[in-house]
Amino acid sequence: MVSIKTEKDIEAMRPACHHAADTLVMIEPYIKAGITTDDINDLVHEFTIKAGGTPAPLNYHGFPKSVCTSVNHVVCHGIPANKKLNDGDIVNVDVTTIMNGWHGDTSKTISVGAPKIKAEKVVETARKALQLGIAQVRPGATLGDIGHAIQNYVEGERMSVVREYCGHGIGRVFHEDPQVLHYGKPDTGMTLKKGMVFTIEPMINMGKPDLKILSDKWTAVTEDSSLSAQFEHTLCVTDSGVEVMTRLEGRTPF
Ligand code: MF3
Ligand code: CO
Ligand code: CO
């Protein structure tokens, strides 16, 4: 069942969404060769607690850290560890903040130092895939329209869309209905209505879409070890279209 949020609910979600977005702005200057993913975790954790929030990943279904950090061929749900980033790596930082009982969820893939050409290509493809998905959102469009826009673009770039994970409804609950697939056919699936709040978060692989889960039960990696990138926003359907709730006024949007 898909919940419809009132104007009041959406207003109540803004602090969590803005804080998650602020966290990505805070962390970006620290993403340099030599920083560990544990350092990223500690910075995100402190920043969230100081603002009166709670990092949603911590203890979520047993996840042991406060943020997901997914490096190079890691598709998603990378667990921060005592592992240094190197120049040329790409790392997705996925932040979810709880404030006043509401969730805000956003992620971006950041290059460490100067990006290699291949890395830049997959990062830019993932970024544009999210934008094209968002551009479909308005009352009367369907979830299939979003998935199709993403899949059509990504496969045209000879890259692939991960199938095992999807965007999701979000609110007082971290992951709720609907499932927002990043592939599909136009005019299929649920019709969007004003007040629906969900994420779009395509995971894009340079090689094949297949993945495997490491023995830690969380870390998803590409089966062919190709690079993977992801961007994520939390958004709501408005009267006239879409509001990207994790996008900050006056900041470089992604
Ligand atoms: N933030 C992820 C998402 O976009 C979910 C992470 S769940 C965790 O849905 F437990 F790994 F943190
Ligand atoms: Co997320
Ligand atoms: Co999400």
User: Given its phi and psi angles, is residue 40 left (phi above 0), alpha (psi -120 to 50 degrees) or beta?
Assistant: alpha
pLDDT band for position 71 (cuts 50, 70, 90): very high
Task: Specify the pLDDT at position 158.
Answer: 98
Ligand 1, atom 12, lies closest to the CA of 57
Query: Separation of 66 CA from ligand 1 center, angstroms?
Result: 10
Cis peptide before 15 (omega within 30 of 0): no
Produce one character per residue of 186-195: b if its CB has 16 or more CB atoms within 10 Å, e if not.
eeebeebebb
The one-letter amino acid at 78: G
Atom of ligand 1 nearest to the CA of 199: 4
Position 252 scores a pLDDT of: 85
| pTM of the entire predicted model | 0.98
Bridging pattern class, strands 90-99 and 102-111: antiparallel
Residue whose token pair is 């990138």: 229
Rounded mean pLDDT of the chain?
98
Strand order in the sheet with 211-213: 74-76, 220-222, 211-213
Query: Across residues 16-43, what is the average pLDDT?
Result: 98
Q: What is the pLDDT of residues 113-159, one digit of tens each?
A: 999 999 999 999 999 999 999 999 999 999 999 999 999 999 999 99
Q: Which residue has the tokens 């997959």?
A: 122
pLDDT for 251 beyond 90: no
| Ligand 1 neighbours (beta carbon < 6 A) | 57, 60-61, 63, 68, 77, 94, 96, 105, 201, 232
Band the pLDDT of 249: cuts 50, 70, 90. Answer: confident
